[in-house]
Structure 1
Amino acid sequence: MINDLTDKILNGHSITKEEALQLVWSMELQALGKKNYSLQPIFDLFAAANQIRETFRKNSVDLCAIINAKSGACSEDCSYCAQSSKNKTDISIYPLVKKDIVIDKAKEAKGAGVRRFCIVTSGRKVGEKELKEIASMIEDIRGIGLLPCATLGLLNNNELSYLKQSGLERYHHNLETSERFFPEICRTHTYTDKIKTINAAKSAGLSICSGGIFGMGETWQDRIDMAFAIKGLNIDSVPINFLIPVKGTSMAEMTSLHPFEALTIISIYRFILPTKEIRVCGGRMQVLEEFNSMVFMAGADALLTGNYLTTTGRTYKDDIRLIEQYGLKISTSPPLCLLS
C-alpha cells in the first residue's frame, strides 16, 4: 500500500482521507513498544515520506525562531496552554516587551543563520496600541534581513493589512486540531473564529502558517481531518507541535506520544501535503528525545529552532549541525525587494 500511494503522489495526484486512514491502520501503532512489534512498516513509511520530501521540497530546510513578546494572563481557556489565566501554572507573566529586546533576539537569530523571526503574544488578540508597537518591530526585523512573522491572535482584515503594509510576511494562526475535537480543548473561541482569521490574513496578502498540537487525546481521524482542512485552506507552512504536559493545566497528566507515533504524524502529513512546508515545532525534543534526528527522514523540511514560548527547545548551533549532517542546506531569505 505504501508503494502504491507513494507512486500516486509522485505522479502528481492526491491521496484521499480514506487512503490516509488505511495507511495509518497498516502501521498498527497501538502495538508500539510491545514485544515482537515490528518497526519495519514504519521505517518503510519514513522512507516513502522522505522520497516525497526530496521530490517536492528538495534539500532545503526552513528555519524560524520566535520571541514570547507578551506572556501569560490570557483570557482564553485553551486546556493545553500554560499561558491561559484559567490554568494555574508557574510561568512568567509580563506585558509587551520593548522593541530593543525583540530586535536583539532577532539579530541573534539572524546571526545564527535563521530565516524567519516570529513575534508571539498571549491573549485573544493584541490591542490597538500594541499593534502599532509591533508594526514598528516588524519594520526593523525586515530591515535586518529576516522574514517577519507574527502570532497575535484573532485579528481582522484591517489589522492584518496594516501589518502587511508594515512589512509582515507571514501570519501564524494554528487550527490546533480538527473541527470535531476543538470544543474539547477550547470554549472561549471557536474553530470558525480561527478559519475567519486565516482567511482574513490570506485576504491581506500574507503567507499563512497553520497547524496544530498532537497528543491532546485526539483520534487519528481528527489528525487527518485537520490535515485535509489545512489542504483546503492552501496553507503554506504547517507547524507540527507535540503536547508537553504542563503542571497546572488540565492536560498535565496526559501521556506523551511514543516517538515513533510522533514521527508517523510527520510522515502522514507529508503524504497529504506533499508540496507544503512541514515544520516541526514545540515538543520536538521532549517527545522525540534521541529520535529528534529522524525528523527529516520522516518527511519534515522545516524547524522551529531555539526555545519555545514557555518551554525549552534546542540551540541554533545543534539544529544547524543536524541539518548539515544530513547533507541538507538551510534556506536563505530572498532579496527583500522580492517580498514587497
Structure 2
Amino acid sequence: MSRISTPYGPAATADDVAAGHDLTGTRALVTGGASGAGLETARSLSAAGAEVTIGVRDLDAGRVASADIAATTGRAAVVEHLDLADPVGAQEFAARWRGPLHLLINDAGLPAVPELQRTAEGWELQFTANHLGHFALARGLHDALAAARGARIVAVSSSAHHFSPVVFDDIHFERRPYDPWLACGQSKTACALFAVEATRRWSGAGIQANAVMPGAIAAPQQRHAGQEVQDERALARTRKTPQQAAATTMVAALSPEFAGIGGRYLEDCAEAEPVADDADPDPAAGGVRRWALDPAAAGRLWELSEQLLAQPRTAAG
C-alpha cells in the first residue's frame, strides 16, 4: 500500500489547502478553536464558507477568537463551552448537537504536564483531555456525523507519540513513576489509535477518521513545555506558523486524496512514513510509530475507553 501524498508540502498554509473549496452548507466543530492551529483551522474553514462552531474551555477567549475570525472572514464562529478533561460534559455537549456534522476537528489538547494531575474520576489528566474527552465527544456525535454522509474526523496527535505506546497495564500512572513525556506520548498515541478504530467501526456509516501531526508552534498549549522541547535544534524541522501547522489538519479534512480514506497518520500534508517501534525516540525525525497504527491496540483502547466512560463518577481518592 503506497503512501498518500498531496500537492502541498511542509510550508503550505491552511488557506492554501482551503483555496478553491466552497464549504457552503458544511458544518464543522473545532475543539480548541480559540488559539493556535485550532484557531487557524476555524478561520480557514469559515473563509471557505463553512458554518463553524468552536468548542472552548474559556468562553471569553472563544468570543475573542470568534470576533477575530469574523473580522478576517466576515463569518463569526459559534462559541460553545467544552472541557475535554470532563468526558461527561463532552457527552452532554454531543447530546445537545442538532443536525448533521460534516467535519469534527479534535484539536484541543494538553502538552506535557510537569506534575501528575488527576481528574475527578482519578484518571490521569493528559490521557483524559487528549483522548477520553474527544472519544466521548465523537461517540456522542456519531449520528450527526453519519447524517452528513461523508463526514471526516481529524484527530490531532503529535510527534510526542514517539515517546510511548498506550501502556494498558498502567495507563493512569498508579504503579509506575509519573513522567510527563510518557504521559503525553501515550495520550497522543491514543489519538492516532482512535482514528484507526473509528474508521474500522464507522466507515460503513460514511465516517472516516485520520490523525495528524501539525508541527511545533509557539502557542498557549505549550505553556508546560520544558526546555527539552524548546531546543531550537530539535524543533528546526517542524517549526511552523499557526497557519502552516493547520495545513495538515485541513488536508485531512478537505483534500480529495483522503476522501473515503481513514486510519492514517499525516504530517507535512501527506501520509507519514512508518517508524519501527524499537527505533530511538526522536520526534524531530518525523514519521509514525507502528504502535500508533496497530489495529489490535486500537480495538483494545476503544473497548477500554467505553468501559471507563461507563463507570459511575466518583471523586479521586
TM-score, normalised to structure 1's length? 0.34
Larger Rg: 1
